[in-house]
Structure 1
Amino acid sequence: MEFTQVKEIASKNQKRAYFLYAEDEQLLFQIRDILRKRVIGDENSMSHIKLDANRCTPLDLENALNTYSMFQEDILVELSNCNFMESATQHPMKEIIEDYLKNPREELYFFATYKYENDLSKRNSYLDGLKKKVPSLSFIESIDSLKQKGMVSLIEDLFMKQNVQVSKNIPVFIGEVFRGSSLQLEKEIEKLIAYTDGGEIRKEDVLAIMEVSDERHVMNLLDLIFTEKGLGRNIKEILNLINDLLYRGEKPEMIIGLVGSRLRVLFKVKILQDRSASSQEIMKHLRTGSAWYADRMSKISGSLSFKEYSKLFRVLLEHEYMLKTTSVESSALLEMLIISMVNSRDIK
């Protein structure tokens, strides 16, 4: 669902229980802030309970959902990092959340979320099935990455928060040229305002100061190359995405660097797995608090053999050496690198 639609639903106060998931975490924060402002107003309210699914216990969650306010006000319970809801596998908190969504309380608002890694992992058949079982007071939905309409609305809101007036064509223009997450967008708007220093903001200023990037598409490329079933096999889809990235202005050198970085991370995880490292050790190495993400990276890492890693590193080094020592066109070199990498799989 588009961000503007979810925002409208949250603003109309028609729902009591929300389970939202998105690739762009800042969009989840935007909806959360709407609820906070409407339900409790003051963040220090005694009726505001914030929980992190990576740190709290099932009992903590049950107690929160059974809390009654001592005052004449509604309660807001927030639960973040619910990645365990991505599949039908069992989890201690899953039954609690499912039961609550089927029967939400009138005097309590529940807001649960998780961030997925990219469009490839957006689909959630478990939650799609749960949607059909919950009443109208509960709302289960994924928030799409910003499209043109939602982007313009968010840009207008960001300027309004900064008390900056701009001509109507500027938010539309920024929405057309900017590529990135809403968190990146917020930072870029702040840079733009500082750059113009209270003066009129023109299209030339936007092009001079704002970053035009698309990290999300690069992450999708990495997930097409390195999959849970081994090296990607859909060469056509991979090359189409590379061409799209280059068309958007991404530098081939940057993409090659990110491919090499992902390969090194996966290899280190492979070594940890070979040493029977715990999930906590792998999470620490990946610098993540998400057990789901660590498990996913472990599956991708384990899908490649040490022989395949050896081939991949050799291919990467050869192409990086060519990039630095020859005059070959970098975009052509990038395509050669990717084709060579996906053809490095073991012959079984």
Structure 2
Amino acid sequence: MEYLELIEIVNSGKKRAFFLYAQDEQMIFQVRDQLRKKVLKEEDSLSHIKLDANRCTSEDLQNALSSYSMLSEDILVELSNCQFMETSGSSPLKELVEEYLKDPRDDLYFIGSYKYENDLNKKNFYLDGLKKKISPKSIIEAVDSLKPRSVSAFVEKLLLERGVEPPKNLATFISEVFKGSTLQLEKEIDKLVAYTAGREIRKEDVLKIMEISDERHIMNLLDLIFTERGLGRNIKDILNLVNDLVYRGEKAEMIIGVIGSRLRLLFKIKALAEQKAGSAEIMKSLKTGSAWYADRMTRIADAISYSEYGKLLDVILEHEYMMKTTSVDSMALLEMLILGLVNARDIR
């Protein structure tokens, strides 16, 4: 179900308990925020209880669901990170959520949610079965990523919230060139608004700021490996994204090639920056008209030491050679490459 349909259900007031799961967590946030607006009279209301399933106990949740408001408004209970609902295994928290969805209170709103990692995890047989047992006042839904027409409407909403009147057809154009989650889209819109600094946003601006969006997932991987604080440290997230890319159909050989190209480009930028090259020269080297993007890439390049570049280039060359001369499984080679890159950090 699209988030816009869920927004309408929230506004109708016919449901008192929501359990939502999505790959694009921002879609859950949109529904949650609308529920907050509907139920709460003020942002810091005493009737608002927020719990994280990774930190709270079943007793904490039981107390929240048993709370009564001393104010003239309903209670809103939020429970995030409900990954315990992904499988049929039992737990005290799971039993509480399941029982509450079967019989929600009329004076309390509940929203539980979790983010799944990729399309392989979207199908949830346990929740599909639970849907048949819950109250008509409850709803369990996977929140779909936005379709192109909805992306356009979402872009217009984001721009208007930032005080920008979107020029004709701009939102449609952005929806066509951008590929990624809505949380990423929101960040890109912030960059776009900052870059244009109050003047009318043109298509050329979109292409300058969002020019790599067609390869967004691969760019996310590069951003995890090469950061403004040096080489990335979160191996789990990097490998999860690598696996997701391969599942989407990207070839391991291509991913290795893109990582190598980014490394060589960063090394070139570091050398240019140390030679006191100006922003225009670095922009030319990057083939971009965006000074913001050139500055960011310069910071990333500078965060890696020359000794680290030496080790990184050795790792890339070794794996590219192995890929061309041996029959080693390309996916295994890619995972070995990632570990080699992360372990190339200097001891500081």
Global fold match (TM > 0.5): yes
Structure 1 CA distance for aligned equivalents of residues 247 and 83 of structure 2: 30
What runs of 5+ residues in structure 2 fail to find an aligned partner?
A: 222-236, 263-311, 336-348
Counterparts in 2 of 1:46 and 1:240: CA distance versus 1, 3 Å: closer
Q: CA separation in 2, counterparts of 1:72 and 1:322?
A: 68
Structure 2 CA distance for partners of 1:206 and 1:19, relative to 1, 3 Å: same
SS of aligned partner of 2:92 = coil
Deviations 1:311-344 (A, max 9, x none): xxxxx999821577x8x9xxx97xx876473899
Q: TM-score, normalised by structure 2?
A: 0.67
How far apart, in 2, do the equivalents of 1:239 and 1:81 lie? 24
Distance 1:341 1:65 in 2: 47
In the alignment, which residue of structure 2 is the partner of 1:320? 316
Residue 156 of structure 1: CA displacement? 1.3
Change over 3 Å in CA distance of 1:206–1:91 after alignment to 2: same
1:294-313 correspondence runs (5 A): none
Equivalent position of 2:108 in the other structure? 108
**Equivalent residue, structure 2, for 1:158:** 158
Q: 2-side partners of 1:40 and 1:30: how far apart? A: 15
- AA partner of residue 321 (structure 1): L
Alpha-carbon deviation of 1:240?
A: 7.4
State yes or no: 1:215 paired with 2:217: yes
Percent of aligned pairs with the same residue? 49
Change (3 A) 1:109 1:239: closer
Q: 1:8 Cα deviation (Å)? A: 2.4
How far, CA to CA, are the matches of 1:245 and 1:156 in structure 2? 38
Distance 1:337 1:142 in 2: 39
Taking the aligned partners of 2:30 and 2:260, their CA distance within structure 1 comes to: 30
Q: Which residue of 1 aligns with 2:295?
A: none
Q: Aligned in 2, Cα 1:61/1:186: closer, same or farther, shift over 3 Å?
A: same
Deviation sequence 1:41-90 (CA, Å, 0-9, x none): 31211111111111111111111111111122111000011100000001
- Per the alignment, residue 297 of structure 1 pairs with none
The answer (yes or no) to whether the contact 1:4–1:153 under 8 Å persists in 2 is no
Q: Contact conserved, 2:252 with 2:331, CA < 8 A, in 1? A: no
What letter matches 2:217 in structure 1? Answer: E
Query: AA paired with 1:164?
Result: V
Distance 1:141 1:27 in 2: 12
Residue 4 in 1 paired to residue 4 in 2?
Answer: yes
1:290-316 Cα offsets, whole Å, 9 max, x none, are xxxxxxxxxxxxxxxxxxxxxxxxxx9
Q: Which amino acid aligns with 2:97?
A: I
Q: Cα–Cα, structure 1 residues 89 and 197, in superposed 2: closer, same or farther, change >3 Å?
A: same
For the residues of structure 2 that align with 1:124 and 1:16, how far apart are their CA atoms?
A: 22
1:10 deviates by: 2.2
Q: 1:240 to 1:65 in 2, by over 3 A?
A: closer
The correspondence for 1:341, drawn from 309, 332, 336, is 332
Distance 2:123 2:139 in 1: 17
Q: Which runs of 5+ in 1 are unaligned?
A: 228-236, 258-315
CA deviation map 1:250-284 (0-9, x unaligned): 88423999xxxxxxxxxxxxxxxxxxxxxxxxxxx
**1:48–1:76: 8 Å Cα contact kept in structure 2?**
yes
- Write the distance in 2 (CA, Å) between the matches of 1:217 and 1:15: 40
What is the letter of the counterpart of residue 59 of structure 1?
E
Question: Which whole-Å deviations, capped at 9, do the CAs of 1:65-121 have from their partners, x for residues lacking one?
Answer: 111111221110000111000000011111111110011111100011111111111
Partner of 2:249: helix, strand, or coil?
helix
State the superposition RMSD in angstroms.
Answer: 3.8
Shift of 1:223: 6.1
Q: Which amino acid aligns with 1:139?
A: I
For residues 74 and 28 of structure 1, the distance between their equivalents in structure 2, rounded to whole angstroms, comes to 21
Q: How does 1:230-245 map to 2 (within 5 A)?
A: 238=246, 241-242=249-250
**Which stretch has the larger CA shift, 121-130 or 35-44?**
35-44
The 5 Å alignment of 1:255-266 reads none
Instruction: Say if 1:217 and 1:108 are closer, same or farther in 2 by CA, change over 3 A.
Output: farther
> For residues 245 and 108 of structure 1, do their structure 2 counterparts lie closer, same or farther at Cα, with a shift above 3 Å needed?
farther
